[in-house]
Amino acid sequence: MIQFEDVQQMAMIGAGTMGAGIGMCFAQAGYQVNLYSMTAERLDRALARIRNSQQLFIEEGLISAEEAQAARERIRTTTRLDEALAGVQYVVESVPEKLELKQNLFRQMEDCCSEDTILTTNTSGLSITAIASACRHPERVGGMHWANPAEIVPLVEVIRGEQTSDHTVEVIYRITERLGKVPVRVRKDVPGFASNRLQYAVLREAFHLVEAGIVSPEDVDRTLKCGVGFRYPWLGPLETADLGGLDVFHSVAQYLFPALSTAQSPPEFLDRLIAEGKLGIKTGQGFYRYEEDKRDEILRKRDLYFIRQWKLIRQVQQE
């Protein structure tokens, strides 16, 4: 069995937004990274994204220019899957969210890797068990779910499939810690795991408030950012309930829970936005309008805010 200390080289399968960020994290933690995509163009975009993100890290004093360069030198790109997987002890997959695609890929990856290589998927909510069913050794397959942008957001969910071994879970967890991330053990393979279940529970109620004309999209976002969400970097919902008094929260839940949305499908107005090609920042309009010359700056400010927030959290925790 591969031990945590044995992992020196990893393969990052998929070089999109998530794959580039994940590969950057491994390289900056000292791992040798084989970054794979089907086209050289995607790999070039991934490397450019890594350089841009590292520049923000340098400006914020998180790494030096020399450390950033050394990390990039640990990344090797390839358009050949067998070449990407040769000699690695650990794999992260981040390709489109299609079960059959992932199953076929895991079948190929297992054929190309040694028998004790650990295989992980960055799926946002597909069943780890179903993905692992394509493998001869499902005990070596686990979930490693990152949040976007992967190189900045601390959380990584470590998800156990029905046949994932304790040893595999432990290695994934310890690697996550070495990367400087905050691991969370998801002990049961449920749709959406923990983070997306919480995120989509909020999103369902947000959609309902807008659809029912109770609050505008702008004010939904203000409510979260300046109220409930303002507390969340410091206090999770259960800590908030403890500090506010469980009896108080119990009383409110008794009359509020029955009034919350129980929608079982996305609202019609979201279907209309998608049909009109209004997909958000990537098309220039969603709930908001995004001017083309300002999109990169919006994402840069988002990343800067996240970095400074995480720096502040760590600073306060260490006091």
Is 148 assigned a catalytic role? Answer: no
Q: Which one from 94, 122, 124, 165 is the annotated catalytic residue?
A: 124
Q: What does the alpha-carbon distance between residue 22 and residue 12 come to, in Å, rounded to a whole number? A: 8
Q: Which one from 53, 110, 145, 195 is the annotated catalytic residue?
A: 145
Q: Which two tokens stand for residue 33?
A: 């990274």
Is 196 assigned a catalytic role? Answer: yes
Is 127 assigned a catalytic role? Answer: no
Q: Which one from 93, 110, 151, 157 is the annotated catalytic residue?
A: 157
Q: Which one from 196, 205, 208, 261 is the annotated catalytic residue?
A: 196
Secondary structure of the chain in HEC code, one letter for each residue: CCCHHHCCEEEEECCCHHHHHHHHHHHHCCCEEEEECCCHHHHHHHHHHHHHHHHHHHHCCCCCHHHHHHHHHCEEEECCHHHHHCCCCEEEECCCCCHHHHHHHHHHHHHHCCCCCEEEECCCCCCHHHHHCCCCCHHHEEEEEECCCCCCCCEEEEECCCCCCHHHHHHHHHHHHHCCCEEEEECCCCCCCCHHHHHHHHHHHHHHHHHCCCCCHHHHHHHHHHHHHHHCCCCCHHHHHHHHCHHHHHHHHHHHHHHCCCCCCCCHHHHHHHHCCCCECCCCECCCECCHHHHHHHHHHHHHHHHHHHHHHHHHHHC
Is 137 assigned a catalytic role? Answer: no
- Beta partners for residue 155, in sequence order: 182
126 CB neighbour count, 10 Å cutoff: 18
The catalytic residue positions are 124, 145, 157, 196
